Chain A
């Protein structure tokens, strides 16, 4: 998990020009780091490439809009990293 978080934090720091040491596992990408939806596309692109996955941004956004999930579940970085690990594992399992 820490490895995934480190990669994600580095991606965010480089993509959005945010000091790496201000990014923690508890950081909320939107509320704490001020990343907007357009900038998040660049982050998603870098994550997709780095991990060989496709972050289901549309599904997540829909779930948040429908009240079925909170932004914290997907955009707090420790949770985002966990979702990435799940997607990587699912891909590895051939799902």
Chain B
């Protein structure tokens, strides 16, 4: 997890195209300036970042299902529930599955757990469009390698 770069997940553990599910893990840093303000003397991971981690996890799943031909963008978050605190240094396991694949949009369900204990969950809507430019596509290719995205799921021009 590199909060400064808004990279919220570290590694894809499992990606099941047929079942339309994904599992990733993310290590919350032990030290970060975010925790100095959130909160002084009681550092916890901000809920909005947990939501973003679920969005990024869902995003990788959608990229896989769309064979890396389209880019999903966060459009809406529903029923986001923060069920427990996440502390610095904890290892997150994030799961997502596809709820619906529409025309130009998709919905997922995602959840974050620590040590098997559910910490938060949400239903997330994405709009998706063809990659707007080659730079973003190249960046996502590089990120895919970094997080262990199954390379066979990436379509190349």
**B-contacting residues of A (Cβ < 8 Å)?**
38, 41-42, 44-45, 48-49, 54-59, 61
Interface of A is mostly: helix
Q: Is B30 an interface residue (CB 8 A)?
A: no
Contact call B75/A58, Cβ cutoff below 8 A: no
User: Could you say which interface size class chain B belongs to?
Assistant: 10 to 19
Residue of B nearest to A48 (CB): B102
Interface segment, one of B1-9, B50-58, B103-111, B135-143: B103-111
Give the docked Cα–Cα distance between A57 and B100 (Å): 14
Q: A41-B125, A41-B127 are in contact. Are A59 and B75 (CB under 8 A)?
A: no
Report which of A38, A48, A59, A61 forms a contact with B100, defined as CB distance below 8 A: A48
What are 17 A-to-B residue pairs whose CB atoms are below 8 Å? Answer: A38-B76, A41-B75, A41-B105, A41-B127, A42-B125, A45-B102, A45-B105, A45-B107, A45-B125, A48-B100, A48-B102, A54-B103, A56-B103, A57-B102, A57-B104, A57-B105, A61-B104
Contact call B76/A55, Cβ cutoff below 8 A: no
Q: A41-B125, A41-B127 are in contact. Are A57 and B103 (CB under 8 A)?
A: yes
Give the docked Cα–Cα distance between A49 and B101 (Å): 10
**A-contacting residues of B (Cβ < 8 Å)?**
75-76, 100-105, 107, 125, 127
Q: A38-B75, A38-B76 are in contact. Are A45 and B100 (CB under 8 A)?
A: yes
CB-CB under 8 A from B104, the residues of chain A are 57-58, 61
Residue of B nearest to A37 (CB): B127
Known: A45-B100, A57-B105. 6 other contacts (CB 8 A): A41-B125, A44-B102, A48-B102, A55-B103, A58-B103, A61-B104
